Amino acid sequence: MNRRDLLASLGLSSFSLLAFAQQAFSLGGVLPELQQAAPDFTLMGVVPTAQGAQAAQRSLSDFKGQWLVLYFYPRDFTEGCTLEARGFQRDLDRFHRAGAEVVGISADSSESHQEFCGSEALTYPLLSDPGGSVSQAYGSWIAPFSQRHTFLIDPAGILRERWLGVRPSGHSAEVLARLIEFQQSALS
């Protein structure tokens, strides 16, 4: 299918896309606007505990009052996703000292997340979005996978920053640096 046919099947033309110039688009849908409330979510997944990763449900509201790094990734156990997860794990204590929690979301099952947490010694939540509804709300879905996007949400639930087409190597440090910039500017 060529581009013109694809756009027509979506009810769009090249010119109709220009009408939306003020909105940020991603291949996975419309990205949420910065400085606005982050899209709400409630998902099942795994939360690591002293006894190992346990099944649990988490919602955006569970993180109210703290910064949240919400990162979407395609699949457990793949090279890039493993590299990204390890980076967040490596920097997790620094995120916690900065008052932030890290949460990963993919379309993988809770069982896959549990195995992934165990094999990589991950100690932060991984949530399962099998139908992609939350990934779509964040403009991060191309079925059947979540796209590699990261969102920084402040303690009031406001979306402050986003990273699209993330390169896994060094990404955690990049997010941590931006979080600290936001916190320092709030003190000024």
Residue carrying structure tokens 């916190």: 183
CA atoms of 58 and 47, how far apart (whole Å): 9
Q: Indicate the Cα dihedral angle 167, 168, 169, 171, nearest 10°.
A: 80
> How far is residue 118 from each of residues 15, 32, 168, measured CA to CA in Å?
49, 32, 20
Number of helices followed by number of strands (H, E) in the chain? 7, 11
Respond yes or no: is residue 81 known to be catalytic. yes
Q: Which residues contact 97 (CB under 8 A, 6 or more apart)?
A: none
- Which residue in the list 31, 43, 60, 81 is annotated as catalytic? 81
Q: Which of 79, 68, 51 shows the shortest CA–CA distance to 105?
A: 68
Alpha carbons within 13 angstroms on the beta-carbon side of residue 115 total 8
Residues annotated as catalytic are 81
